[in-house]
Amino acid sequence: MARFEAALARASARVGVIPTQHAETIAIACERATFDIPALAKEARNAGTLTIPFVSALRKQIPSEAARYLHFGATSQDVSDTGLALCLKESSQRTTELALRLGDALAVLARRHAETPMLGRTLLQPAAPIPFGWKVAMWLAPLARSLPHYRRAVAEAASLQFGGATGTLSALGMQGEAVAKELAGLLQLNAAVTWHSARDAFARLGSESAVLAGIAAKIAGDISLAMQPEVGELAEPSAPGRGGSSAMPHKRNPAACLLALEAARRAPGLASTLLNQLQSEHERGIGQWQSQFITLRELVCATASALAAMAEVVGGLQVNAQAMRDNLEGTHGLVYSEALSLRLSRADADRFVEQAAREKKHLRDVVTASAKLTGEELAQLFDVRTSFGAAPAMLKQVLADWTNARESAT
C-alpha cells in the first residue's frame, strides 16, 4: 500500500498534477514509514477498510506542505486492491517455482520408471497392469495443462486498480488516464480499465490456484494408498521425526501427503468464496472486495503448501519395484482377464477366470490346460509389457507437454 502511494505521487508529478518536490518527499516518506499494526487493525475495523487509518497514519509522517498531495485523486479501494495485486504478483512467482519443482520431479520419475510394471487399480480394485512411469505421467499431465492457465490468470490479476471515487478518475479530469498509465508502469502492473466492482480476475486466479492444489492432492492420495504396509509399493522420503505417531512407534505416516490433502480440502471452499463475490453492487460493492485479501491469502498459502509438500515427496520418493511385481503376481494372472477375453470368446474367458479363482490356480495354468492357445500366444498374453498398450507413447507426449509448459512459465 505504501508502494502504491509512493508511485502515485511520482506518477502524478510526471504528468504535472502535483509538484515534483512534494512527490519525492511523499515517496521517501512512504519508503521509511512505520506503522502501529495493532492500532491500525483496530481503526480499520471501525472504518470498514484498512486504507483509511493507513493513509491517516502515513500522512502524519509527511511534512505538512507535501502531505496534502498524498493519496491525490485515489480512493480506498484503489490502494487496497492494488496492494493485493502487488502481493499476488510476488507470491505467484513462488507458487510457479513450486509447481515447476514438482513437475520436474515427476518428469524424472516418469522417465526412470517407464517400464516398471505395477497393478493398475480402478474403483480401488486390481485392474490391468500398467507401467509406474505412465501412472506418474498421468500425475504430470494435468499440471502441464494447468500451469499455463494459472500463469495467464496471474497476469490478468496483476492489474492496477485506479479509478478514484466512482471509478472514472473524475478528480484528475483529463489527466487521469495519463496518471494511470505512469502509475502502472512504476508498479509494473497491467494498466487495466477500472475493475472496482468487476472481480472476475481474482475469481479466476482463485479457481486456478485451487486446481493446482487439487492436482497435488491427487498425487498425495495415490502415494498415501500405495504406502499402506499391505501394499508397500511407495514411501515418502524418510527423515528424523517424519511420519511418526505419538502413540504407536511402529507407524510411518504419510505426513507430507497429509499436508497436500488438507490444503486441497480448504482450497475449493476458498475459491467458491471468490466466485460468490462476483455479485458486487453498483460501482463499489459492500462486503465483497473488503474481504478478498483474506480469502486470497489463505488460498495462496494452501496451494503453495500443497505444491511444496508434493515436490519434496516426489523428489525423494522411494519406489519398491519388487513389491509392485509381487502385487501383480499376487493376482494369479487374473489381471490379464481383459486380454484373455479379447483372444477367446467371452464365455470361455469368464469360465477360465472363474475356474482359476475357485481352484486358486494361476490363470495361465488354467488356460494352458485348455489347449485353447498356443505356447507363443500364451507367452504374449501373459507378458506384462503387452498390457502397456499405448502407455509409452502417452508418456512421451506428456513429457513433451511438460517441456512446453515449463518453457512458457520461465
Q: What positions carry a catalytic annotation?
A: 245, 284
Q: What does the alpha-carbon distance between residue 352 and residue 370 come to, in Å, rounded to a whole number?
A: 9
All three cell numbers of 339:
486380454
* Contact present, 401 and 144 (Cβ < 8 Å): yes
Q: What does the alpha-carbon distance between residue 292 and residue 267 come to, in Å, rounded to a whole number?
A: 14
* Contact present, 211 and 35 (Cβ < 8 Å): no
Among candidates 249, 245, 246, 250, which has minimal Cα distance to 229? 250
Give the dihedral sign, CA 158/162/166/167: negative
CB atoms under 10 Å from CB of 91, counted, come to: 18
Q: What does the alpha-carbon distance between residue 196 and residue 164 come to, in Å, rounded to a whole number?
A: 9
All three cell numbers of 307:
505444491
Q: What does the alpha-carbon distance between residue 87 and residue 380 come to, in Å, rounded to a whole number?
A: 58
Tell me the CA distances in angstroms from 62 to 79, 119, 290, one per residue in order: 18, 69, 27
